[in-house]
Amino acid sequence: MLLVRMSYLMRVKCYSPVSEMPQVTGALLRARRLRHVLGSKFSASRALAQLSAENAASHDYVIVGAGSAGCVLASRLTEDPLSTVLLLEAGPKDTLLGSKRLMWKIHMPAALTYNLCDESYNWYYHTVPQKRMDNRVMYWPRGRVWGGSSSLNAMVYIRGHAEDYNRWSREGAVGWDYEHCLPYFKKAQTHELGPDQYRGGNGPLHVSRGKTNHPLHRAFLEAAQQAGYPFTDDMNGYQQEGFGWMDMTIHKGQRWSTASAYLRPAISRPNLSVTEKTIVTKILFQGTKAIGVEYMENGQRKKAFASKEVILSGGAINSPQLLMLSGIGNADDLKKLGIPVICHLPGVGQNLQDHLEVYVQQRCTKPITLYNAQKPINMVKIGLEWLWKFTGEGATAHLESGGFIRSQAGVPHPDIQFHFLPSQVIDHGRAASTMEAFQVHVGPMRSSSIGWLKLKTTNPNDHPIIEPNYMSTERDIWEFRQCVKLTREIFAQKAFEKFCGPEIQPGDHVQSDKEIDAFIRQKADSAYHPSCTCKMGQLADSSAVVDPQTKVIGVENLRVVDASIMPSVVSGNLNAPTIMIAEKAADMIKGLPPLHERNVPVYRPKTLETQR
């Protein structure tokens, strides 16, 4: 223990600058006197709220970011009527300006590609040129709107494998093993198929299965079984491995973001305040204690104070960026930019992990894909039906089937993921489909390539430098070859005989390992799963940023709750795990005992000596 403590003290060098807000100290003293007069039931935070003349708002909690995690926290923390919460969001509401009407591009599931191209509610990040990807600058869309990336994503609900969370526990996130995480997945969820040992039945997050019954989805699942893979009736339940029908965060034909599931039902609570279009510029400290934030709203610089905690839920890019802007990060990097150091925490912005994927596309010999649906007259018809009844082609994201397999014998749990789509996607959907075609999105789940992000400037509006370091290991290169080869094997099965025309990409001319590698470098793109940049771990871990209670190491009253605190990326899409993280953190913040389900059965392959 002594060695651990010495290691911690040597790594976490915390500084105590003079408070930059003496006027607030006076306000706090007057608030305490007011509390004394009015009695102990009147909290200091309530007293501060009465001091509007002080030109600063005070709440128990200030949450930065109304995304997948922030909306959950805002809802759960305000279930206590005595807890006041301010939720700050950089983007707009997910409704039309001056109206309660929903933005159709966000809430129509089939319109998801529009969100990936709209800078009005998308951070529109880009990486630095990737030297192992033909020096391509990679596009990283992230949500800047109520609901965050849950308002932009493809609505696929995947939890990851049980072993992902057991690995977290081994990596230092004690208490985040599968038995302690599964109850929070269930707490969040209402599955349309009803509750069971793995599904929830009373949560705010509605999850459904696809309704199209499209012949290409059926062919894909049949072909996967012909290739030797099992069918799984719930890849979020007992058995992830295999192919089956996807769960989706779609409810009654509409996208069910965390803004819809958590924030909007809570918005009328008097103890919740929510903003839009407010850029948080830094966290305010008194010594090493977080006491609030500074932010810009309508061109005005404002401050908000938190009597209990400041909670960052900006995601894997924004949360480490704000920590560094506020003086928490690698001290050498901060000093170079002239940022006063509050706490030397070198793990901030490091350990960046993402999923990379490639599209394997096949021409379809029958006019049954979504190609015709993308013609203007048909889009109008689809849109009108959706606006009128929330049904039809507009009521699904069409990613209704998929699967998980192991790349080779000996891999303990699936490390390749497939999403099947009865359409062709070009450049993140920013270019129109050109033909009748279908495709698989396929990529490795546990890449060994690790990246980082750093501040470019001290301007909060400037995007940070993002270096995912894609394809930097031989293992990643080999796994991607497997992705292409195994997808081709599935498309070659009898179930696809009546649908398969020529391969569009990679194309029949791409056969050798060298040719496949070149194709990957040219065409692979982010699956939009940045994570792990504020790693959760133990105090003795020099790369850890938060402890297993989600508290930032070395300072007080400051937490990070979002995908950035994952110790390592999970084997699947990130929205469901991020919501789970926020549900679990909410109980921690409220001081509730953790939920725990023991001895939950999880599928194990009959033998690890064979791939299938």
Residues with a catalytic annotation lie at: 529
- Give, as one character, the DSSP assignment of residue 372: G
In degrees rounded to 5, what are phi and psi of residue 453? -140, 150
469 closest CA partner among 416, 415, 533: 533
Residue 459: exposure state from Cβ atoms within 10 A (0-12, 13-18, ≥19): exposed
Q: What are the C-alpha distances in Å from 168 to residues 46, 256, 316, 352, 418?
A: 39, 28, 17, 15, 24
Record the tokens describing residue 568, joined without a space. 């390592």
Angle among Cα 399, 125, 306 to the nearest 5 degrees reads 100
Rounded to whole angstroms, how far apart are CA atoms 448 and 122?
28
Rounded to whole angstroms, how far apart are CA atoms 556 and 541?
19
Q: What are the C-alpha distances in Å from 180 to residues 101, 203, 370?
A: 39, 17, 41
Strand partners, 404: 242, 417
Rounded to whole angstroms, how far apart are CA atoms 269 and 86?
12
Q: Which DSSP string do the residues of 217-282 spell out, in sequence order?
A: HHHHHHHHHHTTPPB-S-TTTT--SEEEEPEESEETTEE--HIIIIIHHHTT-TTEEE-SSEEEEE
Rounded to whole angstroms, how far apart are CA atoms 278 and 299?
9
Handedness of CA 417, 420, 426, 431 (dihedral sign): negative
Rounded to whole angstroms, how far apart are CA atoms 392 and 371?
16
Rounded to whole angstroms, how far apart are CA atoms 327 and 334?
7
On whether the CB atoms of residues 45 and 307 are closer than 8 A, the answer is yes
In degrees rounded to 5, what are phi and psi of residue 380? -65, -45
